[in-house]
Amino acid sequence: MRPLLREAVETTLLLLGPFCPHVTEELWAQLGHEESLFLHRWPEVDPTALAKSEVTVIVQVDGKVRSRLTVDVDASEDDVRRLALADDRVRPWVATHEVARVVVVPNRLVNIVTRR
């Protein structure tokens, strides 16, 4: 078994151990461990793996989803607004109407409101 796959299976068994101890003990033994699964430490969190550098932002025109953008987490509201208005899938919806407002919810949503 490849090392990365083995680590993933072992971590999964450690996490499932409290919920189904009999099955996980058997699978742990099948992996070649002689000591009990419950003698091992709980897996530790790697904070760097949880950090996001990019997020997907939904772009709505008049309340309907028209596009999705991938932007940096620390992108400014003005940059996100410009990207949303310049998006090829959004442009046809705002080209024929006057843009009344652009609401930006950081790292989540851009809502473009038009006047008809």
- The pLDDT of residue 116 is above 80: no
Best CA proximity match to 83, nearest among 105, 96, 67: 67
Cα–Cα distance for residue pair 103/109, rounded to 1 Å: 8
Q: Are residues 83 and 106 in the same domain?
A: yes
Q: pLDDT digit string (tens) for 26-82?
A: 999 999 999 999 999 988 888 888 888 999 999 999 999 999 999 999 999 999 999
Question: Which pLDDT score is estimated for 52?
Answer: 86
Of 85, 54, 59, 86, residue with least CA distance to 70: 54
* pTM of this structure: 0.63
Do 30 and 69 belong to one domain? Answer: no
Pair (60, 97) in one structural domain: yes
Token digits for 87? 């998006």
- Expressed as residue numbers, the domain containing 31 is 3-45
Strand locations in 1-116 (E): 54-61, 64-72, 98-105, 109-115
